[in-house]
Each structure stands twice: as structure tokens, then as C-alpha cells.
Chain A
């Protein structure tokens, strides 16, 4: 009766462990809908990765696992997400949304939380409110979302030298939020690093997202005097898609003739076939138009075709039977969707599972089953 995410546990865990071993200093990102798995499960998994790293180091101090660094920090998106992970992960909790002197951020005083500070005023306000606060300073990147410019970092360094700032002892590093790969990030990071050196901050730790393995390796040699903390979300949790499958359940099937009326809006069937009612609707994120990240006309058209609600005719749905993507008979309902199966196609049994293509970061599953 549900929209399910089924995870091939051994395969998924192997991918997580492989990633943790390949990316020293890894900071798992657990934000939003938890990449479809849920925030709590990801936090527990991050704790498990840390335990595994400790075991690997203890079991064979000279073995290949000995080099694995602890997973001592996870990153959440917002202060409100902290509640979902706090009891499930024992280490530090980095909040990616910059601290502001209002809202949940201003109410959060937790020695495990590492704040992201992106404005000088906020740095002063945070330290006034909590002199023991732990924080990273975000340097604005070409994304131009949040963050300080080069001058702000110099001023921050001056500010941190004041006694009230405890000489910058709460500073845990500088953070970069890089855009998705468009060519190499190295040039941009080298420039940002020059600004970091120029500021003379009392830290040599850099937190960064969206760097490839190769870019990270290069930066680790060029800036071996710095500690690199790569924040990784998608390629950690969703990096091995073959370990994941999403299925919906067939709830009903009705034969229709051409001209038969059906559905909320009494549409008429264009030709003979079957209506298939499957689990999964707008409440799960099915049929909602979400940006795909691809920007070609073809990709955009495909996205529209998959989920566009305002399309007049029958549009392609993310559900498929017998290897074919089926059409929505009408826009998805809250919990279920109506598909049109043309005459001649095999009609699946009620209770049969059918595969669904979804974006994990926008889908809410009823059940997540990890083997």
C-alpha cells in the first residue's frame, strides 16, 4: 500500500565504507529529507561509519583501514534539523545555514553545534550571546549565496584577536560552498585560499563541498599545511544507485473503453485500455515539478513531461510496467496516481510492485527497507 525505498544493505554499506576510506576527513551531510532515507537514519549511519573506522584502526593498526579518519562531524542544513540527528550521532553537528541573530539559530546553545558565520555583524552577535560558541567562517564563493569577502575575513581576524572572542578559540575553520562542477574548481579554491592566508586567521582547517577526488588530492598536496574537511552528501548516500530501488504498489485496475469518463475531473479515455491505480502521489512528491539540475532544453522538456501538472493531454509518469514508462491518466492524487495502460499491455495484478523513477531529495517514502 505504499511507496517504498528498498536498499540493498550490503551493497549500500560497502559504498559508504569505500567513500569514507577514499575521502579522509569526510563530513557526511544529513539535510533536507535525508536524501530519501530520512535524517535519523543518515545520522545513525554516520555514527556507524565512525564506529567502523575506529574498529578498523584498532583491529589492524598497520592495515589499509588504519588510515581511516574518524567521522567526528556531520553537517545538517538547518537548526530545525538538529532535533532529528542529535540523539543518533555522537559527534559535532555543523549547521550549513548561516547563523543569524534570530529564529531557532539564536535559541541554539549546544556545545556540539558548530555554527556557520557568514557576516561580520553575526560574528559579533554570536560571540556576544555565547562566547564559547564554536563556529566556521564562510567565505563567499562564485555561488554568491552567503559568505564573507576577502576584506571581511581580515576584519574577522582582527575581531577574533579581542579578548571577548577568546582569541578565536571557538574558530573551527573556514568554509567554502562551491558551485557544482563546471570545469575545475582549483583556480577558484586557490584564490579563496590566498584570501584565507591573507586574513591570518587562527585556523588551518578548511571545510568545502563539491570537490572531486582529484581536486581534493591536489589541494591536499598544495595546502598540506591545512586540514581539509570535505562535506559530502549526494555522492555518499546516493553514490551507488544500483543499491537503491523505488517501488509503488498496484492498488486497482479497471478496463475502460474509448469515451469512458473517469477521475476527479471526468476526463474521457482516448482509446481502450486500462486505468491503473498505484500508490504514490503528491504527498510523496510524485508529479511535482522539481528542477532537475540539467539545463538543456531536452532535459527540461523531459522533466516537464515526467511531472508537469498543467499539461493538458496525458503526460509521462515516473511509474513503469514491463519496462515501459506509463502515462498519467490524470494529475496525481495526494496518495495515489492514476495511470493509463493502452490495450494490449499486460495488466499487473493488484498488489504487484512497479518501479518508479524519483528524485531522492524531493521524495518522501512511506517505508525505507534496508536489507
Chain B
């Protein structure tokens, strides 16, 4: 069995050093992300082996229960530990003990491990097949033994899966769309190869934007207001609640302070008009498309495709292995409005990826049950 591991708080500097020592980590597990989430108490914790070396780390966000000094300890897309271990209890038990000591009534984790993958062809077949409603109904291109072992062990250890069928209701999405930037041999793909992998519409739109003279540039803090104005416009059009400008300012400041190119604002202009703008985030080899906005006018100049392509090229140039378009719903049902999002993402030639999802461990059962009931009343969103 594994030698005993110890968990204790670490400084944000040590936490960041550990993140940097790894090929990649979720940006939700960086110390900077804790600074963005100011409404939650945060703590950086580390795992130490018998030689007192740091072998794992996590960002913990403590969400307070109304009127009580008890917390849900939330480790979004984390912790950063050895998920290939056959003895996850050795990693998770000391973590839970520490969090209980901090007043946690429950713990929520999101193991960053892949369970299944579906390549472009498999997803397209699923969308085309009238009888198929969900990704799960399509045979995956790959099943991950590591992912299955994590799920199997979490069940064994009493953790409870939090996935909500179909939608975005749970915290972080269980299904995401990723564009691999390296080939099977691990070599970086060429821009040509990436373009070839895209569907005709994507290629045409990228070309169209180029011909129309759309220019994509990187923006600094001064440009954030312009992004935000377009983002609010997009929110009104697409019917979601926008976050305030201050949230993005915090993100830019915190993430930007951690690594110079962790937070990238991309702006697509056409003849002086801002037609699309996005925020990309990168941690090591993993690059995310995080937020996007587009104008309603001048859609025919295809600013959105141009800015996506710029982000892909940017990630490739930075040596990233994965360009992550983040959440999709599991639906492949042609009548579901979410299917449009998958169609758009599938056009990049990437793959749908199922992660292990979010898991809860009740530490104090009555309080956890009360919290679960509270969430159900609020409609399940956390």
C-alpha cells in the first residue's frame, strides 16, 4: 500500500510552484482562481509524503451554510493528486480529515480524469441518428481504464456522484469538447492539419473572415470594458445573465499576475468595429476558451470563427496539447436547443470528452442532507 500522506495548508507560492511542476492543471485549481472567487473563503492545501515532499495540491473554496459556521469544501476540477493511484483512499482520507477540521460538513471534488471519449465521426453519427438522444447511447471511441478506476473507487469509498442528467445544472460540466493539438505520437499538429480536421463550414468561415479583413488582436486591461460591453449585448441576445465587469477585471488581474499569458483577451475588429471578443486561459499544456461575445451586426464577416482560430493558433504556439472548448450537454437530440452548441464545437474536428464528474462526500450527514434539500429548493444550481 501507499505510504501515508499528510495534508496541511501551503502558501500560495508553494501551491503555484506545484502547479507549475505539472504538465497542466485546471485553471480552477490555481491559487489565482481563489482570488477571483472572493465571496468564498479559500485555502491552498498540499499533500506531503514520508520525506515531507509536496506531492499533491489543491485549491479549496469554502462555501458557508446560511447562518452557520459550517462549510461545503469545494475543490472544482480538483484536487491535483495522483488519480492513477489504486489507493485513492490514501489521498482522499487525509484531505477529508483536514477539511473536517476546517469546519466542512461535506466535500465536493471534481476528479480531472477522462472516462470516455467520442471522436468527431462518432458525435456526428449520433446527431444524425434519430434514435439517439444522448452521447451515452453512442459507443465511445475510447473508454479509459484510469477513469473507470477512479469512478469505481469513489463508489467504494462512499462518495456520491452529483451529475445531473442532460443539463448544466451541476457545478462544472461533466461533458466537455476538446480539440487535441498533438497527434497520436505526441507531436504538435500543424495549422494545416488542424484546418483539415475542421468541417467545411469552419474552414470557409475562417477564410471568409480573413478576406473580409477581420483582424484579431490581443487586448490589455484597457480593452476589457469593450469586451464587457459586447458580452452584455450577447447576454441580452442569447438570454443569459451576464457577470459584472469587475469580475473580469479581477480575473484579469489575478490570473495575469500568476503567469503573463494565463489570461488572454482576444478582440476581432472589422473596419474599426468590434465584432467578436473572447477570453482564453492557459495552464501549462491545457488551453481553454472561457468566455465569448459577438455582435449581432456584421455576422457575415464571421468574427467568431476568426477569433476561435486565433485562440487555437495561440494555444498551439504556446505549446499546448489541448484546446478546450469547455462544456457541452450530453444531448444529441436534434430538437434540443443545446445541440447547436455541440454542432458548433464539433465543427472544430475535436472530440467529446466525459469526465468523472463531481462527487460529494457527506462529512456531517444531517447538515449535508439539509444542504442538499436547500439546493433542491433552489433548483439544483450551485
For the complex with contacts A154-B86, A195-B152, 7 further pairs of A-B residues with Cβ separation under 8 Å are A150-B152, A194-B151, A197-B143, A198-B145, A199-B145, A200-B145, A225-B139
Tell me if B145 and A225 are in contact (CB < 8 A). Answer: no
Tell me if B139 and A224 are in contact (CB < 8 A). Answer: yes
A371 on the interface (CB 8 Å rule)? Answer: no
Contact with B along A200-241 (1 / 0, CB 8 A): 100000000000000000100111110000000000000000
Contact with A along B48-85 (1 / 0, CB 8 A): 00000000000000000000000000000000000000
Tell me if A222 and B151 are in contact (CB < 8 A). Answer: no
**Which residues of the other chain, B, contact A221 by a CB distance below 8 angstroms?**
132, 137-139
Tell me if A195 and B148 are in contact (CB < 8 A). Answer: yes
Tell me if B136 and A197 are in contact (CB < 8 A). Answer: no
Determine the distance from Cα of A150 to Cα of B157 in the docked complex, in whole angstroms: 12
With contacts A197-B143, A198-B145, A200-B145 known, is A222 near B137, CB below 8 A?
yes
**Which residues of the other chain, B, contact A195 by a CB distance below 8 angstroms?**
148, 152
**Which residues of the other chain, B, contact A11 by a CB distance below 8 angstroms?**
none
Find residues 186-201 in chain A having any chain B CB closer than 8 Å to their own CB: 191, 194-195, 197-200
A-B complex: 6 closest residue pairs judged by Cβ atoms: A198-B148, A197-B148, A224-B139, A198-B149, A198-B152, A200-B145
Find residues 140-154 in chain A having any chain B CB closer than 8 Å to their own CB: 150-151, 154
With contacts A194-B151, A197-B143, A198-B151 known, is A150 near B137, CB below 8 A?
no
Interface residues on A, range: 10 to 19
Find residues 129-165 in chain B having any chain A CB closer than 8 Å to their own CB: 132, 136-140, 143-145, 148-149, 151-153, 155-156
**Which residues of the other chain, B, contact A222 by a CB distance below 8 angstroms?**
136-137, 139
Determine the distance from Cα of A281 to Cα of B136 in the docked complex, in whole angstroms: 54
Determine the distance from Cα of A346 to Cα of B152 in the docked complex, in whole angstroms: 66
Find residues 151-197 in chain A having any chain B CB closer than 8 Å to their own CB: 151, 154, 191, 194-195, 197
B258 → chain A, closest Cβ, in Å?
Answer: 35
A17 → chain B, closest Cβ, in Å?
Answer: 26
Determine the distance from Cα of A224 to Cα of B116 in the docked complex, in whole angstroms: 13
Determine the distance from Cα of A330 to Cα of B132 in the docked complex, in whole angstroms: 61
**Which residues of the other chain, B, contact A154 by a CB distance below 8 angstroms?**
86, 149
**Which residues of the other chain, A, contact B137 by a CB distance below 8 angstroms?**
218, 221-222
**Which residues of the other chain, A, contact B136 by a CB distance below 8 angstroms?**
222
With contacts A150-B156, A154-B86 known, is A194 near B140, CB below 8 A?
no
**Which residues of the other chain, A, contact B138 by a CB distance below 8 angstroms?**
221
Tell me if B139 and A194 are in contact (CB < 8 A). Answer: no
B154 → chain A, closest Cβ, in Å?
Answer: 10
A133 → chain B, closest Cβ, in Å?
Answer: 26
Determine the distance from Cα of A352 to Cα of B145 in the docked complex, in whole angstroms: 66
Determine the distance from Cα of A218 to Cα of B143 in the docked complex, in whole angstroms: 18
Contact with A along B158-199 (1 / 0, CB 8 A): 000000000000000000000000000000000000000000
Query: Which B residues are within 8 Å of any A CB, using their own CB?
Result: 86, 132, 136-140, 143-145, 148-149, 151-153, 155-156
Determine the distance from Cα of A110 to Cα of B44 in the docked complex, in whole angstroms: 61
Determine the distance from Cα of A3 to Cα of B165 in the docked complex, in whole angstroms: 55
Tell me if B152 and A225 are in contact (CB < 8 A). Answer: no
> What would be 22 A-B contacts, judged by CB atoms less than 8 Å apart?
A150-B156, A151-B156, A194-B148, A194-B151, A194-B152, A194-B155, A197-B144, A197-B145, A197-B148, A198-B148, A198-B149, A199-B145, A218-B137, A221-B132, A222-B136, A222-B137, A222-B139, A223-B139, A224-B139, A225-B139, A225-B140, A225-B143
A219 → chain B, closest Cβ, in Å?
Answer: 11
**Which residues of the other chain, A, contact B86 by a CB distance below 8 angstroms?**
154
Determine the distance from Cα of A194 to Cα of B357 in the docked complex, in whole angstroms: 14
Determine the distance from Cα of A178 to Cα of B217 in the docked complex, in whole angstroms: 60
Residue on A with the closest CB to B142?
A225
**Which residues of the other chain, B, contact A200 by a CB distance below 8 angstroms?**
145
Determine the distance from Cα of A198 to Cα of B113 in the docked complex, in whole angstroms: 13
Determine the distance from Cα of A195 to Cα of B151 in the docked complex, in whole angstroms: 8
Determine the distance from Cα of A150 to Cα of B149 in the docked complex, in whole angstroms: 9
A161 → chain B, closest Cβ, in Å?
Answer: 14
**Which residues of the other chain, B, contact A150 by a CB distance below 8 angstroms?**
152-153, 155-156
Residue on B with the closest CB to A151?
B156
Determine the distance from Cα of A221 to Cα of B133 in the docked complex, in whole angstroms: 11
A176 → chain B, closest Cβ, in Å?
Answer: 15
**Which residues of the other chain, A, contact B155 by a CB distance below 8 angstroms?**
150, 191, 194
Determine the distance from Cα of A222 to Cα of B40 in the docked complex, in whole angstroms: 39
Determine the distance from Cα of A256 to Cα of B378 in the docked complex, in whole angstroms: 76
Residue on B with the closest CB to A223?
B139
Determine the distance from Cα of A195 to Cα of B145 in the docked complex, in whole angstroms: 9
Residue on B with the closest CB to A190?
B136
Determine the distance from Cα of A72 to Cα of B149 in the docked complex, in whole angstroms: 33
Determine the distance from Cα of A224 to Cα of B129 in the docked complex, in whole angstroms: 15
Determine the distance from Cα of A221 to Cα of B131 in the docked complex, in whole angstroms: 11
Determine the distance from Cα of A152 to Cα of B140 in the docked complex, in whole angstroms: 26
Determine the distance from Cα of A194 to Cα of B132 in the docked complex, in whole angstroms: 22
Determine the distance from Cα of A194 to Cα of B140 in the docked complex, in whole angstroms: 14
Determine the distance from Cα of A128 to Cα of B153 in the docked complex, in whole angstroms: 30
A190 → chain B, closest Cβ, in Å?
Answer: 9
B73 → chain A, closest Cβ, in Å?
Answer: 25
**Which residues of the other chain, B, contact A151 by a CB distance below 8 angstroms?**
156
Determine the distance from Cα of A194 to Cα of B156 in the docked complex, in whole angstroms: 12
A159 → chain B, closest Cβ, in Å?
Answer: 15
**Which residues of the other chain, B, contact A199 by a CB distance below 8 angstroms?**
145
**Which residues of the other chain, B, contact A191 by a CB distance below 8 angstroms?**
155
**Which residues of the other chain, A, contact B152 by a CB distance below 8 angstroms?**
150, 194-195, 198
**Which residues of the other chain, B, contact A198 by a CB distance below 8 angstroms?**
145, 148-149, 151-152
**Which residues of the other chain, A, contact B153 by a CB distance below 8 angstroms?**
150
B156 → chain A, closest Cβ, in Å?
Answer: 6
B113 → chain A, closest Cβ, in Å?
Answer: 12
Determine the distance from Cα of A195 to Cα of B143 in the docked complex, in whole angstroms: 12
Determine the distance from Cα of A218 to Cα of B138 in the docked complex, in whole angstroms: 11
Determine the distance from Cα of A199 to Cα of B65 in the docked complex, in whole angstroms: 39
